[in-house]
Structure 1
Amino acid sequence: MSTSADDYDKLTKEERVARDKADREREAQEQAALPYRWKQQLEEVDIVVPVPAGTRGKDLNVVLGRKKLSVGLKGKEPIMSGELCQEIKVEESTWTLEDRKEVHIHLEKINKQQWWANVLTHHPKIDTTKIEPENSKLSDLDGETRGMVEKMMFDNQQKQMGKPTSDELKKMEAIKKFQAAHPELDFSQAKIS
């Protein structure tokens, strides 16, 4: 970006929209000039590297390292080569040759909670704060995370209807059980919230 975050905060809404649009156009041009296309999700990065039509697997020289990537034809300058911006799980990362004209590379991120600003450190960066992830389905989540999200959704629905949240319902249930277990106590003047 050409200015700091403080300068951005001082812009009007219209100026921010114009700045964001200009930044997206600049990023798109920079990314289009790369010798590959790439996309990512939090867990992985997928790269497509065009190669001459008719290329065979044995013609390729592909190196996947923990922090290194190189793709090219044997005996020629690599199409792309350099240090990855983040580390990958080499044993879970793969490459394939598709239709003898594209190398498809799948990289498994080690840090699955971080967006990559670029693939190779010397290539132009994208603004990761502007990434809009695809919507995931509850069924995609692990059990613990899914339970947490479902609880948050339930609590949000309850609040919107003016009803008690799951935590408030648990407290009310605990108080009812306590009152039932201790009928000798007078709760008529108790303030329970």
Structure 2
Amino acid sequence: MSSIPDDYDSLSTEERELRDKQDRAREFTEQAALPYQWTQELGELDVVVPVPKGTRGKDLVVVIQKKKLSVGLKGQDKILEGELCKEIKVEDSTWTLEDNESVLIHLEKINQQQWWENVLTHHPKIDTRKIEPGNSKLSDLDGETRGMVEKMMFDNQQKQMGKPTSDELKKQEALKKFQDAHPEMDFSNAKFS
């Protein structure tokens, strides 16, 4: 990953798009040269390591530690080995041999709110600011979470239009009910916050 160059903000939109395209092409080339492929979600990471066809589980030496990972075949140099970019939950991380030709390593991140720049610290980095997580739909959420998100969206729209939020509307409604129930009380000098 190249950190944003100092001149990035001064570039035109077209120049930024060109630089971003060049950066993505460079990242793609660097990542394709690695001895594995990897994908990530905010909470987890999957690494696929190709091995010779016909490899059996007992031929493999896979070590998954909190901050280290290595994969190799017994009696041979490691296919990959090094320090992980961030810490993982070892007890929730696994590996499996798929079709006797690739090792699938599933790593659970400790910090489930952070994108990884790379798998192993000595490998090329990606620009995590350019990651576009898959769009989740409101219908994918459970009822309580969906309600909370819809309320936040409503309140945000109301604020942008200078209108009261749902909580402020509830307070106004409760106050009106109280005033209607107690017409004998004078609220003309009352201050409400």
Asked if TM exceeds 0.5, the reply is yes
| Structure with more strand by fraction | 2
Distance in 2 between residues matched to 1:23 and 1:121, nearest whole Å: 19
Give the SS at the match of 1:118: coil
Gap change, CA 1:139 and 1:83, over 3 Å in 2: farther
Letter in 1 for 2:45: V
Q: Give the equivalent residue in structure 1 for 2:87.
A: 87
Shift of 1:105: 0.5
Q: Give the equivalent residue in structure 1 for 2:38.
A: 38
Distance in 1 between residues matched to 2:18 and 2:24, nearest whole Å: 10
Letter in 2 for 1:113: Q
Q: Which one has more relative contact order, counting CA pairs under 8 Å at least 6 apart? A: 2
Gap change, CA 1:152 and 1:146, over 3 Å in 2: same
Distance in 1 between residues matched to 2:179 and 2:61, nearest whole Å: 74
Q: Give the equivalent residue in structure 2 for 1:174.
A: 174
Residues 109-124 of structure 1: matches in 2 within 5 Å? 109-124=109-124
CA RMSD for the aligned pairs? 2.6
CA deviation map 1:58-83 (0-9, x unaligned): 00000000000000101111101000
Q: Give the equivalent residue in structure 2 for 1:62.
A: 62
Which stretch shows the higher mean deviation, 4-13 or 147-156?
147-156
Does the 8 Å CA contact 2:56/2:97 hold for their aligned counterparts? yes
Distance in 1 between residues matched to 2:144 and 2:9, nearest whole Å: 37
Letter in 1 for 2:23: D
TM-score by length of 2: 0.88
Gap change, CA 1:3 and 1:125, over 3 Å in 2: closer
Residues 7-156 of structure 1: matches in 2 within 5 Å? 7-138=7-138, 141=141, 145-156=145-156
Distance in 1 between residues matched to 2:21 and 2:152, nearest whole Å: 34
Letter in 1 for 2:100: R
* Structure 2 gaps, min length 5: none
Gap change, CA 1:12 and 1:118, over 3 Å in 2: same
| % identical aligned pairs | 77
Does the 8 Å CA contact 2:2/2:127 hold for their aligned counterparts? no
Which stretch shows the higher mean deviation, 168-177 or 64-73?
168-177
Gap change, CA 1:124 and 1:109, over 3 Å in 2: same
* Structure 1 gaps, min length 5: none
Gap change, CA 1:83 and 1:167, over 3 Å in 2: same
Give the SS at the match of 1:15: helix
Question: What number of residue pairs does the alignment pair up?
Answer: 193
Give the SS at the match of 1:26: helix
TM-score by length of 1: 0.88
Distance in 1 between residues matched to 2:5 and 2:142, nearest whole Å: 35
Distance in 1 between residues matched to 2:152 and 2:186, nearest whole Å: 35
